[in-house]
Chain A
Amino acid sequence: MTTLHELAERLIAKGEGPREPTREPVNTTMIRHWTQAMGDRNPRYQGLDAVAPPAMLQVWTMDRESPSRGPLDDMLDALTAAGYTGVVATNCEHTYARYLTPGEELTYATRMTELTGPKRTALGEGYFLTWLTTWYAKDEPVGEMTFRLLKFRPREESSPTGKRKPYPLKPAVNRDTAFFWEGASSGELRIQTCGDCGELRHPPGPICPSCRSTERSYVRAAGVGEIYSYVVHHNPPVPGHDTPFVVAVVEIPEGVRIVGNVVDCEPSQVGIGMRVKVTYRRMDDELILPMWAPLES
């Protein structure tokens, strides 16, 4: 079986990959958008004889539909397969040979340069992967970028016992509320109903406030809802959560409200009226919490 370092050596030895073309030449429209977004009023980047800000280097080649698989993809896949599923960028350095001017057609190519590890980091054990991308105008190198990222094995999965670290914010559960948490564990959002008058109720309790019946049952909610109110928590730090994080009051069509985190989107995207769907998150070996994610994603 090939080790990660053997694979790395092979991929590094391959050297620079094929030159990839870019869709558009260096152009004044993008320069104007970029300088306005950055608030950069340097006159060198304006007018008929404008040059491109050097820091835009990556802008000319950024493309969501990556043209072809490169050596990096093989390395990243191998690291993921080995359990290093987390990823975080750690370094990015640019070197510029000269200014670029509108109309220039660029190509770029990437070579892998280094794999180090395994290293112990605050995030967990991981490997640092480094590559070098060079931009060319015809055959003239005009700029370079050294990029490094850490592929790491998230902490919870690496404990010696194979158990996750206990989540610090456990709910209290008693015989009136156990059905809800059991439902969450099996991927159901259970809302209490009165066994006599049928009224729905959340949070649940032992007696129906409408008819005083102690007969209780529950319905399985469809799992969609709308944000009724929400907060973005910044300070102070809260155990078990990275800040900022979002908590919302969600109104569900069954007719009750429920509180939960909003995940899988940026806090700035959250708003009152936003439609969300339930998603279940495992917090530790015992607890699964129902949370909410944007419906349109």
Chain B
Amino acid sequence: MSTAVAGIGATEFSKDSGRSELRLAAEAVLSALTDAGLTPSDVDGLVTFTQDANDEIALARELGIGELTFFSRVPYGGGAACGTVAHAAMAVATGAASVVVCYRAFNERSGRRFGQPNPHLGGDPSSLGLEMSWHVPYGLMTPASWVAMFARRYMHAYGATSEDFGRVAVAMRRHAATNPAAWFYRRPITLADHQSSKWIVEPLHLLDCCQESDGAVALVVTSAERARDLPAPPAVITAAAQGSGPDQMMMTSYYRDDMTGLPEMNTVGRRLWEISGLRPSDIQAAILYDHFTPFVLTQLEELGFCAPGEAKDFIADGGIELDGHLPVNPHGGQLGEAYIHGMNGITEAVRQLRGTAANQLPGPANILVTAGTGVPTSGLILSRA
């Protein structure tokens, strides 16, 4: 059975929402249901991230959803984003539920900030705690530092520079500058700004790191057939996949033969191409997870948009700009719009396919979306109906 995203919703993106995370979740879900022309009583499934603090039943209570016949959680931080849609689509396709809402809500800036060191990361003898224990005692305990370790090796292997990473940040901020929903609306940066921003973890500058945000996003998934009868133009889920690679760890897969790639994203990409029958040249835009700039380069390579080591040239030639070979994150991504753990990127893909985006591209037919990098991850290809 073919499935589709029939509605999207979000709160404003801010640094201090002033309300509880559950309220943010409820607002985003209501907004997505309104967009889809549905009501809470139509919902029978909910999916979110394992990291989300709002239980499905709590949300169902707030919205008066009533019965649920399907609920699931997707693990591994931001790697869950597209996975929520994959789970929802599977539930709809198998008949486990008919209308599934995917959501993510947090006060990530005014509440618990992921970029701050958490001394307890390595303290628990779970498999994750033991994994972290090879790194946290040495102070290697922030997402920026985990990514920086890969970035340094990538620079060494391919001759990429900090400026090559900076060009990603500049492009994202340029896109955000003309997106009124973006936190950095009307605030573009230059490459010189990037280069002079303070070190976070060498080789990453402050402007290589995405912002921190408060906010929530929700998406309504149902059958493509039902979506066609609803008011919003459907975004067909052409392919959805999750992936983890050999010797996979959470952000610290340093023990594999090679440290210059993202094998888990390669797995996701191969599945997306197999399921959809499409090739990179069939994709008109990509929403690439951009919590840190270096992995945008790696993703372009792993997904087959350019060869390994060539992403820096692809980007320097303007390849990811709005008028480039492959416009990337027309909304400004997480570097420019907001950090909602990748979920705001999925809504941008839907808007682009509907023709309602702030920086609307000329009639894209297929858009590829990715989720968190450096972790087990997921991806989507969404298409115009």
> B148 on the interface (CB 8 Å rule)?
yes
Which one of A52-60, A116-124, A151-159, A239-247 is at the B interface? Answer: A239-247
**In whole angstroms, what is the CA distance A258 to B203 when docked?**
20
Is A203 a contact partner of B259 (Cβ separation < 8 A)? no
B112 contacts partner chain A, Cβ-Cβ < 8 Å: no
Say whether B150 contacts A171, CB under 8 Å: no
Decide if B123 touches A247 in the complex (CB within 8 Å).
no
Question: A169 contacts B141, CB within 8 Å?
Answer: yes
Mark interface residues in B125-169 (1 if CB within 8 Å of A CB, else 0). Answer: 110011111111111111001001110110010000000000000
**Does A170 have its Cβ within 8 Å of any Cβ on chain B?**
yes
Among candidates B133, B201, B203, residue contacting A172 with C-beta atoms closer than 8 Å: B133
- Those of A166-225 within 8 Å (CB) of chain B: 167-174, 176-177, 202-203
Task: Tell me which residues across on chain B come within 8 A of A289, comparing CB atoms.
Answer: 137-138
The answer, yes or no, to whether B200 is at the interface (CB within 8 Å) is: yes
A234 touches B198 (CB 8 A): yes
User: For A228, A233, A272, which residue has the most chain B Cβ atoms within 10 angstroms?
Assistant: A233
Residue in A closest to B113 when the chains form the complex, CB atoms: A236
User: With the chains together, A155 CA to B152 CA distance in Å?
Assistant: 35
Q: How large is the interface on B (under 10, 10 to 19, 20 to 34, 35 or more residues)?
A: 35 or more
Shortest CB distance A193–B (Å): 16
Known contacts A169-B122, A173-B133, A240-B139; is-contact A229 B156 (Cβ 8 Å):
yes
A247 touching B254 in the complex, CB below 8 Å, given contacts A172-B123, A231-B149? no
Which residues does chain A contribute within 8 Å of B142, judged by CB atoms?
A: 233, 236, 238
Q: Is the CB of B129 within 8 A of A172?
A: yes
A284 to chain B, nearest CB (A): 11
Chain B residues with CB under 8 Å of A233's CB are 139-140, 142, 145, 201-202
Interface contact B201-A231, CB-CB below 8 Å:
yes
A229-B254, A231-B149, A239-B119 known; A176 vs B138 contact (CB < 8 Å): no
Expressed in whole angstroms, the Cα–Cα distance for A287 and B123 within the complex equals 13
Q: Which residues of B have CB within 8 Å of A203?
A: 130-131, 134, 255
Chain B 103-120 per-residue mask, 1 if CB under 8 angstroms from chain A, else 0: 000000000000111010
In angstroms, Cα B256 to Cα A256, docked, is 10
Does any Cβ of B come within 8 Å of A261's Cβ? yes
For residue B252, which residues in chain A have a CB less than 8 angstroms away from its CB? 259
B119 and A174 form a contact (CB under 8 A): no
Alpha-carbon distance A65/B243, docked complex (angstroms): 62
The yes or no answer to A145 lying at the interface (CB within 8 A) is no
Rounded to whole Å, the gap between the CB of A24 and the closest CB of chain B is 39
The answer to whether A238 and B141 touch (CB under 8 A), given A173-B125, A203-B134, A259-B254, is yes
Q: Is A249 an interface residue (CB 8 A)?
A: yes
In the assembled complex, A68 has its CB within 8 A of some CB on chain B: no
- Residues of B301-356 contacting chain A, CB below 8 A: none
Contact with A along B172-199 (1 / 0, CB 8 A): 0000000000000000000000000011
User: For residue B136, which residues in chain A have a CB less than 8 angstroms away from its CB?
Assistant: 169, 171
Residue of A with least CB distance to B133: A171
Residue contact A176 to B130, C-beta cutoff 8 Å: yes
Shortest CB–CB separation between residue B214 and chain A, in angstroms? 19
Q: A102 to chain B: which residues have CB within 8 Å?
A: none
Chain B residues whose C-beta falls within 8 Å of the C-beta of A239 in the assembled complex = 117, 119
Chain B nearest CB from A206 CB (Å) reads 10
Contact in complex: A249, B202 (CB < 8 Å)? no
- Contacts from B to A (Cβ < 8 Å): 115-117, 119, 122-126, 129-142, 145, 148-150, 152-153, 156, 198-203, 206, 252, 254-255, 259
Known: A170-B123, A171-B134. 14 other contacts (CB 8 A): A172-B122, A172-B129, A172-B130, A202-B255, A203-B134, A229-B156, A231-B203, A232-B202, A233-B142, A235-B200, A236-B115, A238-B141, A259-B135, A259-B140
Please, could you name 24 A-B residue pairs with CB atoms under 8 Å apart, sorted by A? A169-B138, A169-B139, A170-B123, A171-B122, A171-B133, A171-B134, A171-B137, A173-B125, A203-B130, A203-B131, A203-B134, A229-B152, A231-B152, A233-B202, A238-B117, A238-B142, A241-B139, A247-B135, A247-B138, A259-B134, A259-B138, A259-B140, A272-B153, A272-B156
